[in-house]
Structure 1
Amino acid sequence: MNGSTLQTFAAECAERLPGARLEHPFGPDWEVFKVHGKVFMLMTSVPGEPVVILKSEPGEAEALREAHADVTRGYHMNKRHWITLEGGDSLDKKLVEELVTESYRLVVGNLPRTKQPVDPETYGTHARAARR
């Protein structure tokens, strides 16, 4: 999946998530997806190459980086808790959708219960179960 396709597909996935909003707080070169004001996905270009930046559990982030050449440490983010997806052959649509959903779920899980648009314990679990 090339970088432009990656960003387009990731944005489509994010837009389907309950309560997700697209903002541009860092200018037009950064697309930032938030849920109740908390970031779960960023998109920009690093040096000219489109990337998608997502939240991830530290152990999962490490495993993803080891298994996929196109997954690296989070660009301009905490390197343990964020990953960067780059365009390349090691990513497919199913994995990208799972990673976007998981990032969203992790952020929703840290929101106060009254602000959670979904139950983070069960939302998207079918995708995680299928991956294992």
Structure 2
Amino acid sequence: MNIEEFRDHCLAKPGTTEHTPFGPDTLVFKVMDKMYALTGIDSFEFINLICDPEYAIELREKFDGSIRPGYHMHKKQWNSVDTDGSVPDYTIRHLINHSYELVVSKLPKKLKEELKQLSDGH
């Protein structure tokens, strides 16, 4: 997966916006203003994604070294996922989806309703 494919996948999700709050080198994707993915722009070496803590442990064991506790993030809930081909693209897409859905599931009811309207095209 390259950065354009990553960006396109994230931006296709309802309510997603992109930002650079940590400076021009870090690209952040948010749903309804809640972060779910970030990566380096110039060095697309890994993606940080939020993850269910138990699933995160399972992934770290399965992809030893290629999925690890999130760099500069809460280590229990965030994973850093390598983009060098050691983790298949379909798995990366699944993990982006998981991260997005996990954040959406924790949104307040009002924001979930706004998001539903966005995804219904209203």
Per the normalisation by structure 2, the TM-score is 0.84
Alignment root-mean-square deviation, CA: 1.8
Q: Does 1:112 align with 2:100?
A: no
Distance 1:49 1:105, change over 3 A: closer
Q: 2:62 & 2:84 partners in 1: Cα distance?
A: 13
Contact 1:10 1:52 in 2 (8 A): no
1:74 matched residue in structure 2: 70
Calculate percent identity across the aligned residue pairs. 31
Cα shift readout 1:79-105 (whole Å, capped 9, x = no counterpart): 010000113343112111110011011
Q: Please name the residue that 1:121 is paired with.
A: none
In the alignment, which of 74, 97, 109 is matched to residue 93 of structure 2? 97
The alignment partner of 2:45 has SS state of strand
CA distance in 2 between partners of 1:9 and 1:72 (Å): 22
Could you say which residue in structure 1 is the equivalent of 2:28? 32
One of 32, 36, 55 as aligned partner of 2:50: 55
Structure 1 unmatched runs, 5+: 119-132
1:90-132 CA distance string (max 9 Å, x none): 31121111100110111111111121224xxxxxxxxxxxxxx
Match of 1:14 among 1, 10, 16: 10
Match status 1:65 vs 2:53? no
Check whether the contact 2:16–2:30 (CA below 8 A) recurs between aligned residues.
yes
User: TM-score scaled to structure 1, two decimals?
Assistant: 0.78
Is there any run of 5+ residues in structure 2 with no aligned partner, and where? 117-122
CA contact (8 A) 1:75 1:84 kept: yes
Query: SS of 1:76's equivalent?
Result: coil
Aligned residues: 113
Aligned-residue offset at 1:14:
0.6
